[in-house]
Amino acid sequence: MSRAPAEVVPAEVVPAEPVIRLDGVGRSFAGPPPVTALHPCDLTVRAGEYVAVTGPSGSGKSTLLHLLGLLDTPTSGRYLLDGIDTGELGDRERSTLRGRRIGFVFQSFHLLPHRTAEENVLLAQVYNRTPRERRLAAARAALRQVGLGHRLDALPTTLSGGERQRVAIARALVNDPSLVLCDEPTGNLDSANAAAVLERFDRLHAEGYTLLVITHDPAVAARAGRTVRIADGRLDGPAPDRPAAR
């Protein structure tokens, strides 16, 4: 008598670590009087999410950005980036992790005016231990990715505001980061250039990049898949969507 074939049980799917996980993270400054810039908060951002953090001036957005970008350390709680407990790292390890896993896009571009677009993007790889022979190809590929393959030799002073921001986006992408942090990325742009940059973010999201945008502009926040609000140093927002694979 033959036996029935055994039921095939699928292997358990282990979810990927969130890109960002804050567990009770807060930031205060000694006085007198002491100031709590960010009350202890929880936040999870999964790979492939597009999250906007909104709030008025003085709400704690910059404090949160500095903590997420490993530019500052929390005074309470735990911050895991790609599952790595950043509180257990020394300064050099934090700098290395930041260079490898986080790309920044700032309101003021922060481009070196006497360096070409290509050179500005190249410099983002210096502290990332990218082999010298690969840096140039990576910089050119990143600039082509944002539609500036024809402006490699242009100085920032000869570029429009929108083009300068695209160079900054290329610089953020050149190391293939886990997280792209954007601080008021359209704040210095006119409406046409702002729309073009937001369309670029839409494409990056579609390509699987994880984006977190700090903004006070409702139109910018509306492009994100999820919005988290911060007010008076208190973070509040809906739970994350299901993971999006990159």
Q: Give tens-digit pLDDT for 25-75.
A: 999 998 788 899 999 999 999 999 999 999 988 899 999 999 999 999 999
CATH number of the domain to which 96 belongs: 3.40.50.300
Give counts: helices (H), strands (E), the chain: 7, 10
Residue 69's pLDDT is 96
Domain range for 55: 20-110+177-236
Residue 2's pLDDT is 42
Residue 245's pLDDT is 40
Residue 115 falls inside a structural domain: no
Residue 75's pLDDT is 95
d(CA 155, CA 42): 42
Residue 207 falls inside a structural domain: yes
Residue 88 falls inside a structural domain: yes
Identify the three-state secondary structure at position 229.
Answer: strand
pTM of the model: 0.86
Residue 240's pLDDT is 54
Residue 158 falls inside a structural domain: no
Residue 15's pLDDT is 61
Residue 245 falls inside a structural domain: no
Of residues 224, 134, 214, 201, the one with CA closest to residue 174: 134
Indicate the number of domains in the chain.
Answer: 1
Residue 105 falls inside a structural domain: yes
Which residues does the chain have with pLDDT short of 70? Answer: 1-15, 237-246
Residue 29 falls inside a structural domain: yes
Residue 20's pLDDT is 97
Residue 191 falls inside a structural domain: yes
